[in-house]
């Protein structure tokens, strides 16, 4: 083998891969490609196809043209569901972004007590949505929950029984779960800001608050866009948390698209209309991701996710 790789090769291909060799590695990408095609790409096309069929989830799949689309689009509930989805998306963005940013900046320091706090702050990241939803459901009990525990009547409300409060609870629990993750992203972002910027600002006599506004924030621009994209697009996929916490209730006050899809498909056995909702979900996600990327002045890079 060794004798085959004669010295002249070094002269022939100094900089790039030689053409003939790509065949020897190409096969290595095949297993991943096949798995991904079978369980992600085919289903993505499949969901579009299924939206033009009628299927009860058990029997045969029957083509039925636009029936499902008509049924879903004529349903006044759809607008409500989309509204709730965007409401929860918007509120959780407004709630999470400033807090994650501040906590991230705070945790970027290397003081001992901050490192200690960080260990505890990040605990929610480890818990399953199921565990979190079950915990909060019990903790928010009006009679035996946190209100009674702290002796604060204002915390002893029927949190999950009132439409407006339930939306607030979902936003809060989502934030409780995901702020640690976004803080972690911001912490990384802050630690990458060149220290020379702060030194220059100090020489110019800028205070801490001023430094935050004119150095930290602008420098974190791409981190903010990354984090916001993940928050906004991620919020379309809130399912398990809301499913366990409120099941979309009271009435349909917290019924988001993903939950609506599940209920239509797997509870009411209407897979056609559920697929229509799924298609809407995919399109919404794509549009939002593209808009946010445009806002970030799209570098034309492969993925915004890379640019933290």
Task: Kindly identify the residues of this chain, within the stretch 114-153, that bind another protein according to CB under 8 A.
Answer: 114, 117, 119-132, 134-139, 144-146, 148-150
Count the helix, strand and coil residues of the chain and give each as a percent rounded to the nearest 5.
Answer: 70, 0, 25
Residue 171 corresponds to which tokens in the numbers above?
């936003």
Task: Judge contact between 238 and 88, C-beta under 8 A.
Answer: yes
Number of H helices, E strands in the chain: 17, 2
Burial (CB < 10 A; 0-12, 13-18, 19+), residue 114, is: middle
Stretch of 74-82, 88-96, 97-105, 247-255 lying at the interface with another protein (CB under 8 A): 97-105
Q: How far is the CB of 2 from another protein (least distance, A)?
A: 4
Q: How far is the CB of 253 from another protein (least distance, A)?
A: 20
Task: Tell which positions 175-214 bind another protein, by CB under 8 A.
Answer: 176, 180-181, 184-185, 188-189, 191-195, 198-199, 202, 207-209
The site that binds another protein (CB under 8 A) totals a number of residues, namely 117
- Smallest separation, CB 131 to another protein (Å): 5
Residues numbered 248 to 307 that lie near another protein (CB under 8 A) are: 258, 261, 265-266, 271, 274-275, 278-279, 281-282, 285-286, 289, 302-303, 305-306
Segment 154 to 173, residues that bind another protein, using CB under 8 A: none
Q: Which of 8, 11, 12, 32 binds another protein (CB under 8 A)?
A: 32
Give me the least distance between CB of 90 and another protein, in Å please. Answer: 19
Q: Which of residues 35-54 bind another protein (CB under 8 A)?
A: 35-36, 38-44, 46-47, 49-50
3-state secondary structure of 53: strand
Q: Whole-number minimum distance, CB 179 to another protein, in Å?
A: 9
Query: For 192-295, where are the alpha helices, taking DSSP H only?
Result: 195-203, 208-211, 217-219, 221-235, 240-245, 257-262, 271-295
**Minimum gap (Å) between residue 79 Cβ and another protein:** 19
Among 87, 165, 239, 249, binds another protein (CB under 8 A): 239
- Residues in region 66-95 near another protein by CB under 8 A: none
Out of 87, 165, 167, 233, the only residue in the binding site for another protein (CB under 8 A) is 233
Nearer to another protein, 70 or 266 (CB): 266
Q: How many other CB atoms sit within 10 Å of the CB of residue 117?
A: 14
Q: What is the 3-state secondary structure (H, E, C) of 111-179?
A: CHHHHHHHHHHCHHHHCCHHHHHHHHHHHCCCCCCHHHHHCCHHHCCCCCCCHHHHHHHHHHHHHHHHH
Neighbours of 163 (CB within 10 A): 14
What angle (nearest 5°) sits at the alpha carbon of residue 177, between those of residues 173 and 183?
A: 125
């Amino acid at each position: 083998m060794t004798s085959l790789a004669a010295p002249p090769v070094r002269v022939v291909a100094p900089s790039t891969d030689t053409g003939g060799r790509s065949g020897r590695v190409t096969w290595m990408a095949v297993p991943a490609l096949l798995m991904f095609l079978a369980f992600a790409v085919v289903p993505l096309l499949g969901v579009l196809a299924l939206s033009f069929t009628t299927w009860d989830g058990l029997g045969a799949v029957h083509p039925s043209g636009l029936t499902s689309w008509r049924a879903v689009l004529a349903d006044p509930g759809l607008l409500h569901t989309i509204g709730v989805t965007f409401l929860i998306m918007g509120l959780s963005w407004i709630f999470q972004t400033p807090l994650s940013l501040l906590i991230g900046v705070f945790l970027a320091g290397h003081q001992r007590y901050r490192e200690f706090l960080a260990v505890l702050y990040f605990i929610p990241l480890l818990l399953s949505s199921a565990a979190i939803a079950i915990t909060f459901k019990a903790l928010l009990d009006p009679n035996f929950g946190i209100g009674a525990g702290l002796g604060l009547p204002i915390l002893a409300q029927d949190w999950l029984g009132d439409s407006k409060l339930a939306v607030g609870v979902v936003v809060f629990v989502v934030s409780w779960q995901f702020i640690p993750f976004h803080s972690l992203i911001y912490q990384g972002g802050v630690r990458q800001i060149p220290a020379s910027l702060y030194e220059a600002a100090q020489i110019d006599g800028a205070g801490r608050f001023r430094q935050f506004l004119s150095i930290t924030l602008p420098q974190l621009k791409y981190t903010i866009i990354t984090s916001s994209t993940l928050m906004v697009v991620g919020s379309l996929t809130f399912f398990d948390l809301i499913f366990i916490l409120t099941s979309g209730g009271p009435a349909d006050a917290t019924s988001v698209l993903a939950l609506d899809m599940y209920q239509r498909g797997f509870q009411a056995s209407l897979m056609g209309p559920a697929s229509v909702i799924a298609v809407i979900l995919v399109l919404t996600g794509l549009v939002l991701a593209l808009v946010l990327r445009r806002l970030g002045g799209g570098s034309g890079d492969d993925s915004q996710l890379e640019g933290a």
